[in-house]
Amino acid sequence: MISARVFSKENNVVGPEHDHMALIATINSKAYLVDVGFGDFSLYPLVLELNVIQKDPGGDFRIERYDDEYLMVAKTNQSTSSPKYLFSTKERSIEEFYEMCTYHQTNIKSHFTHKLICSLATVNGRIIITGKTYKKTVDGITSEHNLKDEEELRQIFLNDFKMTIPLNPLLWL
C-alpha cells in the first residue's frame, strides 16, 4: 500500500500526502502500480518502469521520476501529458490514510462533498456521473448530457451501475 498526492485539474497543484491510496504488487520479480479507485485511469496494472509509454484500454500512461522522493504517473497522448499523481514506493499503513479519508468525506473544501460522483469502468469504456452530468464512453466515443431529474438518475444507477439508490431529497439539490 502506497500514498499518492493527486494533481488538481484546475491549477495543477499537487495535493497532500495520503490524498489517495494505491498498491504496488510484485509478480515474478516485476513491480506493478495497481490502482482501481482513481476513476478515469488505467484498467490494468502499470509496470513500475520509468519513461516507457504503457498502452492500456484506459489510455496511454507513463511513469517518470519527479524528484528524489517521488515518481509521477501521467496519462499521455502524442502531443500532451496530463499528470495524475505523485507517489513514492514507501510502504504505508491503513492508519496513515484515516485523516485524509475523513477530510474527503466531510470537509466542505473536498470536491467529494459538493456533488455526486460515481465512475464505472466497462468492457468497452466508462460510465461517469458527476453532479447532474451523465457521461458514457463506448469504444472511444463519448456522449454526455445533463440529467433531467432524480428518476432519470435512479434509472441510470439501476441500468448502468446495477444498483439502487435510496430516496434522498437532498441528493438532487
- At 12-55, the pLDDT tens digits run 789 999 999 999 999 999 999 999 888 778 889 999 999 999 99
Q: Return the CATH architecture of domain 2-92.
A: Beta Barrel (2.40)
Q: Name 46's bridge partners.
A: 33
Cell 445533463 maps to which residue? 146
The domain segmentation of the chain, as residue ranges, is 2-92, 98-159
CA-nearest of 25, 60, 23 to 41 is: 60
Residue 170 has pLDDT above 70, yes or no: no
CA-nearest of 117, 127, 116, 119 to 172 is: 116
What are the pLDDT digits (tens) for 105-159?
Answer: 999 998 888 888 889 988 888 899 988 999 998 887 889 999 998 889 989 999 9
Which pLDDT belongs to residue 151? 87
